[in-house]
Structure 1
Amino acid sequence: MRGEVLLKRLFMGLVAAFLAAPLVVVAGVSLNEKRRLLFPPEGLSLNWYAALFADEKWVAALRNSGTIAVLAALLSVSIALPLAWFLWRYRVRYARALFALGVAPFILPPVITALGFLVFWTSVGLYGAMGATIVSHGIFFMTLPLVNISLGLESIERETVEAARTLGADERAVFRTVVLPGILPYLVSSFAFVFVLSINEYIVSYMVSGFTVETIPIKIFNSLRYGYTPIMAVVAVLFVAVSFTVFGLMARNGRLLRILGRH
């Protein structure tokens, strides 16, 4: 029995090391003293971290990515919440069709969805606008909030809702006092998930804005044409840190496991 446990731990340790190896390499590259992508690093320095925030173009890309991610997450949750509430509250016959429509942008290959956005924004004359990128991200990632909020609504006992109505509460009061407090953690986690995914999104951003609105993924791609510098590794480290922080907090309250399907 002990041997079996040790083998399992050894196996999981090897898997963890295999998954962590690329992150270790990228983190090491970001510490290079010279302008080269070397691992192990030649000398240790944090100069490239300072160089990232001293370069106005990289700062602008960070600002664009952060703005788009925050507003896209708000838009995504704002669309998913009333749709999930309607499907849970009224149980209409076409609920499955509406739900399928809500998850369709994420189920389709990203390049297909991005191409659809490209055609639409070009036809209405808004290709290259930041607003187009925000709306595209919000719609593309709406699936996660829709699924997550639906899970939160299913965790609310309908008897509690009926009791509130019996006591004279109207629909608004029921939503404000019973439903909203129950799904608030799911709303927060939905916002966090869309925020992280939007920051890392490249295909939709490139197809909708080209190089007009330069986000961090697009900036990294553009930088590859002019030579490799450790700044790109620094950006990757920052992205990984943000993702680990967000997903770690979600996993700590159990929301990550719930959204992955655990009941």
Structure 2
Amino acid sequence: MLWHKTALTLLVIYLFLPLAATLLFSIANEWQTNILPDSYTLQWYAQLFSDPRFLSAIGRTVLVGVITVIASLAVMVPVIFVLGVYFPKWDRVLQMSVLLPFAFPGVVSAIGLIKMYSSGPFPITGTIWILIGVYFIGIQPFIYQSVRNSLRTINAKDLLEAAEMLGAGKASAFLRIILPNILPGTLIASLLSFSSVTGDFVMANMLVGGQFETIQTYLIQQIDISGQSASAVVITYFLLILVLSGLILLLGNWKPKGYKAKEEEEQ
């Protein structure tokens, strides 16, 4: 038992020590010869939040992530459900297709996308739309695995058949029975997808660059200017992801007013 606690403690230290060092560097005024900073300041955060470019980059990053995740869930959850319940033979094809993005390096994919969409009927290179399209495809493995595992866990086919026997239509059964039961898996997929989208640099830099500056492209530029400022960007980005993750988890645990009372009445 002691060995397990020691291993867990060492793992936590290993994971959070770089983050703690980054936090200290972001509030350090002078840090040269001592283990801890010689003096502290919040000037890097003050400069950061007074920079309109940073605030715009944060807003663009969140906008792209939210639109991409919502669009992916709206399209893929019904598709995964229909194939898994009614056309299980095609589920293998979908599984193979959603894993294809992992087979191509980001740089290679970006070059091909630039060639294809820089001209022609859809000249969207340098716009938000190409980023949303790329991320829509890139996060499919997270969406598929989480939602598909959730459907298998709740035995969606039996639930659907039971609802239809009680008089519910297919659409009503899906919205009122299946979706609430796969909500935890859907939330996990949302968190993984949003973190993947907001953490991308290669696609954002090559496809849109400075025309649609995101937090990652802004961070790279800050590294060349000031290490403390770049560390402040990293800590702010981490806190942003932490807050959004907490909101999504709270949303997953939310129950309508009166829900608890109905449960108690049934008991």
TM-score by length of 2: 0.81
Pick from 57, 63, 70: which aligns with 2:59?
A: 63
Q: Identity of paired residues, percent?
A: 23
Of 159-168 and 27-36, the range deviating more from structure 2: 27-36
Residues 121 and 208, structure 1, Cα contact 8 Å, conserved in 2 = no
Q: Following the alignment from structure 1 to structure 2, what is the Cα–Cα distance between the partners of residues 117 and 40?
A: 46
Instruction: Give the partner amino acid of 1:169.
Output: A
User: Would you say how many aligned residue pairs link Structure 1 and Structure 2?
Assistant: 249
Q: Following the alignment from structure 2 to structure 1, what is the Cα–Cα distance between the partners of residues 173 and 6?
A: 52
Aligned to 2:135: 137
Instruction: Give the partner amino acid of 2:191.
Output: A
Aligned to 2:150: 152
Aligned to 2:238: 240
Change in Cα spacing, 1:160 to 1:102, as seen in structure 2 (3 Å) is same
Change in Cα spacing, 1:114 to 1:86, as seen in structure 2 (3 Å) is farther
Instruction: Give the partner amino acid of 1:154.
Output: R
Q: Give how far 1:60 is off.
A: 1.3
Structure 2: tracts of 5 or more residues without a match? 253-267
Instruction: Give the partner amino acid of 2:207.
Output: V
Of 79-88 and 66-75, the range deviating more from structure 2: 79-88
Change in Cα spacing, 1:102 to 1:130, as seen in structure 2 (3 Å) is same
Q: Give how far 1:56 is off.
A: 0.9
Residues 48 and 229, structure 2, Cα contact 8 Å, conserved in 1 = yes
Aligned to 2:11: 15
SS state at 1:111 partner: helix
Instruction: Give the partner amino acid of 1:173.
Output: S
Change in Cα spacing, 1:250 to 1:56, as seen in structure 2 (3 Å) is closer
Alignment of 1:98-137 (within 5 A): 98-123=94-119, 124-137=122-135
Residues 137 and 198, structure 1, Cα contact 8 Å, conserved in 2 = yes
Q: Following the alignment from structure 1 to structure 2, what is the Cα–Cα distance between the partners of residues 89 and 40?
A: 58
Change in Cα spacing, 1:189 to 1:104, as seen in structure 2 (3 Å) is same
Pick from 26, 33, 36: which aligns with 1:40?
A: 36
Q: Following the alignment from structure 2 to structure 1, what is the Cα–Cα distance between the partners of residues 75 and 31?
A: 45
Q: Give how far 1:87 is off.
A: 1.9
Change in Cα spacing, 1:212 to 1:168, as seen in structure 2 (3 Å) is same
Aligned to 1:193: 192
Residues 61 and 216, structure 1, Cα contact 8 Å, conserved in 2 = yes
Q: Give how far 1:35 is off.
A: 10
Q: Following the alignment from structure 2 to structure 1, what is the Cα–Cα distance between the partners of residues 154 and 243?
A: 28
Q: Following the alignment from structure 2 to structure 1, what is the Cα–Cα distance between the partners of residues 76 and 40?
A: 46
Alignment of 1:85-104 (within 5 A): 85-104=81-100
Q: Following the alignment from structure 2 to structure 1, what is the Cα–Cα distance between the partners of residues 21 and 35?
A: 6
Aligned to 2:20: 24
Change in Cα spacing, 1:200 to 1:220, as seen in structure 2 (3 Å) is same
Residues 31 and 37, structure 2, Cα contact 8 Å, conserved in 1 = no
Residues 28 and 39, structure 1, Cα contact 8 Å, conserved in 2 = no
Of 48-57 and 238-247, the range deviating more from structure 2: 238-247
Q: Following the alignment from structure 2 to structure 1, what is the Cα–Cα distance between the partners of residues 215 and 98?
A: 27
Instruction: Give the partner amino acid of 1:110.
Output: G
Q: Following the alignment from structure 1 to structure 2, what is the Cα–Cα distance between the partners of residues 136 and 117?
A: 9
Q: Following the alignment from structure 2 to structure 1, what is the Cα–Cα distance between the partners of residues 96 and 53?
A: 40
Q: Following the alignment from structure 1 to structure 2, what is the Cα–Cα distance between the partners of residues 165 and 72?
A: 33
Deviations 1:56-92 (A, max 9, x none): 1111111111111111111222232122112212134
Q: Following the alignment from structure 1 to structure 2, what is the Cα–Cα distance between the partners of residues 72 and 87?
A: 22
Aligned to 2:205: 206
Aligned to 1:81: 77
Q: Give how far 1:169 is off.
A: 2.3
SS state at 1:33 partner: strand
Instruction: Give the partner amino acid of 1:127.
Output: T
Q: Give how far 1:249 is off.
A: 8.1
Change in Cα spacing, 1:44 to 1:181, as seen in structure 2 (3 Å) is same
